[in-house]
Amino acid sequence: MKTYHRPRSIFSADDPMRGSISAAIPRLRGLVGSLLLMLVAPMVWAQPAVIYDLGGKFDKSFSEMAYTGAKRWGDETGGRFLEIELQSEAQREQALRRFAERGANPVVMVGFTFATTLEIVAPDYPETNFVIIDSVVEAPNVRSVVFNEHEASYLVGVMAGLATRTDTVGIVGGMDIPLIRRVACGYALGVEAANPEARVIRNMTGTTSAAWNDPIKGAELTRSQAAQKADVVFAAAGGTNVGILQAAADEGILSIGADSNQNHLHPGSVLTSMLKRVDNIVYEAFKGGEAASAGVSVMGLANGGLGVALDEHNADLVDAKMKAAVDEAFDAIASGRIVVHNYTDDSECPANS
C-alpha cells in the first residue's frame, strides 16, 4: 500500500489501533471531553474560524494553503479552530452567521465569492472580526486581503518563456473572473519579456464556481493546448489543477502549479509553482485573535505575500540561467523598477500574444 501525507485516515499505517473496538473507547472519552470544552470554550476564549470555498479544503492548491496556515497555528499554540467546507452556495451565509453566533473570532473566509454575503452579514455582528481573502469589503470590522497575483504570475511567465522549446506556452484558468484574467495577463507579460517569440494560449475552465473543481475538463484543455504545441502549461484553477498537472505529466510536457507548492505532485514535470501565501494570512489572523484590525492589505512580492517555488522536486528543471532571470525579475518588481500591468485596473491586457 502506498502512503500519503494526510493524517487521520482509517487506512493510515501509523494508527496501530485501526479497526479495533478498544480504539473506540478513548475516542468516546475524547468526544465527551470536547463536548464539555464546547460548553466552556465560548465563555473563556473565542475560537478562530475558517470557511473554505466550494473547491474544498484539500484542493492541493488555494484552499489547502489556508488549511495549512490554520493547522500551523493549531500546532504551535495547541488551540482549536472551527472550520467548514462549503458544499453549496446556499451554505455561504448560513456558515458565516453560525460561526459569528457561536462567538468565533476572527472568522476567515477563503475566496472572493464571499464578498457580497459578507457585506450583508458583517454589520450584524460588529463585535466579530472578519477577514476576507481575495476581495475587498468596506466595513469597520472587516480586514480585506488581496494579492498582486500578476507580479508572481509574471515571474512564472518568465520561467515558462525560457523553458519552452516550441515557443508556445499555455495557461488554463479556473473560473473566468477578473482575478484569473489578471493572473493570465501577468503570465503573458512575463512570457513576452523572456521570450518575445512565444505565443500564449489562454483557456478558462468555466464560468461558474464548478470551474474550480473540474479536473476532467482541466485535463482535456491541457491536452488540447499540448496538441497546439504548447509545452508549458500554467494551471491557475484551484482544485482543477490536479487534472491539469496530471494531463501535462501524461503528455510529457511541463506544467506550473499555483497557490500551494505543487512541485511534488509530479516531480520532473512541474516546472515551478506560483506561491500565494494564504497560509501566512490565516496564521497571522488567527494569531492576532480578536485584536485583528480592519482595512485593506495588499500582498505582493515585496512583502513576501507571493513567490515562486524552487525545491528539490524542480531543481533539475530550473537551470542557472532561468534562476538568474527569475531573481532579476523578482528584484525589479519588488523594488518597483518593473511595474507589471494590473488587468483589473483597466480590463485590458497589453501583452501582444
Partner 1 sequence: MSELAADLIPVLDSTLRLSTPLLLACLAGLFSERAGVFDLGLEGKMLAAAFFSAAVAFLTDSVWTGLAAGVLASVVLALLHGLASISFRGNQLISGIAINFLAVGMTAMIARSWFGLGGHTPALEGGSRFDALHLPFEGIVAQVPLVGPLYAELISGHTILVYLSLALVPMTWWIFYRTRLGLRLRAAGEAPDAVETAGISVVGLRYIAVILCGVLCGLAGAYMATGLHAGFVNEMTAGRGFIALAALIFAKWRPWAALWSCLLFGFLQALSLRPDLFERHFSIHLQLQLLDALPYILTVVILAGFVGKAIPPKACGVPYVKGGAG
Q: Which residues bind partner 1 (CB under 8 A)?
A: 1-2, 4, 6-11, 56-59, 85, 176, 201, 203-204, 206-207, 210, 213-217, 219-221, 223-224, 227-228, 239, 242-243, 246, 250, 265
Q: Cβ of residue 248: shortest distance to partner 1, in angstroms? A: 12
Our CB check for partner 1 shows the closer of 10 and 35 to be 10
Q: How far is the CB of 191 from partner 1 (least distance, A)?
A: 17
C-alpha distances out from residue 47 to 38, 104, 204, 209, 287, Å: 10, 5, 38, 29, 11
What single-letter amino acid sits at 328?
A: E
Sign for the CA dihedral angle at 147, 148, 152, 154 comes to positive
Which lies closer to partner 1 via its Cβ, residue 174 or residue 300? 174
Q: Would you say 2 or 321 has its CB closer to partner 1?
A: 2
Rounded distance between C-alpha atoms, residue 152 and residue 346, angstroms: 19
Q: Which is nearer to partner 1, 191 or 340 (CB)?
A: 191
> CB under 8 Å to 223, separation ≥6 — which residues?
247, 251
Strands 270-276 and 254-259 turn out to be: parallel
Kindly report the CA angle at 138 between 86 and 51, in degrees rounded to 5?
A: 15
Instruction: Pick the closer one to partner 1 by CB: 116 or 228.
Output: 228
Nearer to partner 1, 148 or 241 (CB): 241
298 backbone dihedrals φ, ψ, rounded to 5°: -110, 120
- Please state the closest distance from residue 163 (CB atom) to partner 1, in A: 22
61 DSSP 8-state letter: S
Residue 227 CB, shortest distance to partner 1, in Å, is 3
Shortest Cβ 335–partner 1 spacing (Å): 37
- Whichever of 24 and 120 has its CB closer to partner 1, that residue is 24
Q: How far is the CB of 189 from partner 1 (least distance, A)?
A: 20
As given in the structure block, the three cell numbers for residue 141 are 470590522
Q: Least distance from C-beta 299 to partner 1, angstroms?
A: 25
Phi/psi-derived region of residue 244, left when phi > 0, alpha when psi is between -120 and 50, beta in every other case: alpha
Q: How far apart are CA 245 and CA 199, in angstroms?
A: 20
